[in-house]
Amino acid sequence: MTSPLDTLPKIGAPATRALHGAGYTTLRQLAGVPRSDLAKLHGMGPKALGILQAALEQHNLGLG
């Protein structure tokens, strides 16, 4: 059985491609990653960052 931390939340396709291109395939991998680093990825916008942060906070985690 997979944990919610083993998948990425539903964000736009460009943001998902940006994360995969940078090597991030699970939500767990994003814990502690600086928000500014993710914001530099082509296709990653403020809405996607907010969704990722909210998803992490549900597990008492967050972006760096």
> What is the count of structural domains for the chain?
1
pLDDT of residue 1: 72
| Structural domain containing residue 45 | 13-58
In this structure, what DSSP letter does residue 39 have? H
CA angle 50, 1, 15 (to 5 degrees): 25
| Domain containing residue 21: CATH number | 1.10.150
**What residues of the chain score a pLDDT lower than 50?**
none
pLDDT of residue 2: 75
Residue 3 lies in a domain: no
